[in-house]
Amino acid sequence: MAEEKDESSGFKVVDRRTFTSEGERVAGQAERGQEPEPRSQVQQDASPSAVLESEPTLSEDSARFATLVSYLSTTAMFQLGLLPGPGGEYLPPDLANGRRTIDLLEVLQEKTHGNLSEEEAKLLDEVLYELRMSFVEVQKQRVSKHK
């Protein structure tokens, strides 16, 4: 049963190694050169659903980035006591974990500097600004309650 092949997968496997396991050049590699097959040709061989799942478009990458930023900012707001939990209850602020989540967004900003679209960079800047201001406000309220 393991020998049966499912030809409906839409994937084409091409061995691009230039040397055999014995270390000899594979026949035909010198004529073809070292150029990889263009992505468009590979995508034509694959089924449309496989291409969509394996190759995100620019807008999908932007959406994924925005989703990540949204997830982390929502987590920080929950940790700062600004959003209710799943049951609708507000928990006391957890400033240490809120700060850690904001720090994660700052690391994301540093590591992606120069690699984001203008909209993505603006989103991250605005979210970090709002979270920092919220953190300071929650911290002030907590200090004033304890005086």
- Cβ neighbours of residue 105 closer than 8 Å, sequence gap 6 or more: 69, 72, 73, 76, 124, 127, 128, 131
CA angle 113, 64, 86 (to 5 degrees): 115
The pLDDT value recorded for residue 106 is 98
Mean pLDDT of the chain: 78
pLDDT at 56 (0 to 100): 54
pLDDT for residue 46: 46
Q: What is d(CA 109, CA 125) in angstroms, rounded to the nearest whole number?
A: 8
Specify the higher pLDDT residue, 51 or 16: 16
Give the max Cα distance, the chain.
82
Q: What percent of the chain has pLDDT over 90?
A: 48
Could you tell me how far CA 51 lies from the centroid of its own chain? 18
What pLDDT is recorded for position 7?
A: 54
pTM, 2 dp: 0.59
* pLDDT band, residue 143 (cuts 50/70/90): confident
Distance between first and last Cα of the chain: 75
pLDDT digits (tens, 9 = 90+) for 57-92: 557 888 899 999 999 999 999 999 999 988 888 889
**Residue 132 scores a pLDDT above 80:** yes
What's the distance, CA 55 to chain centroid?
A: 13
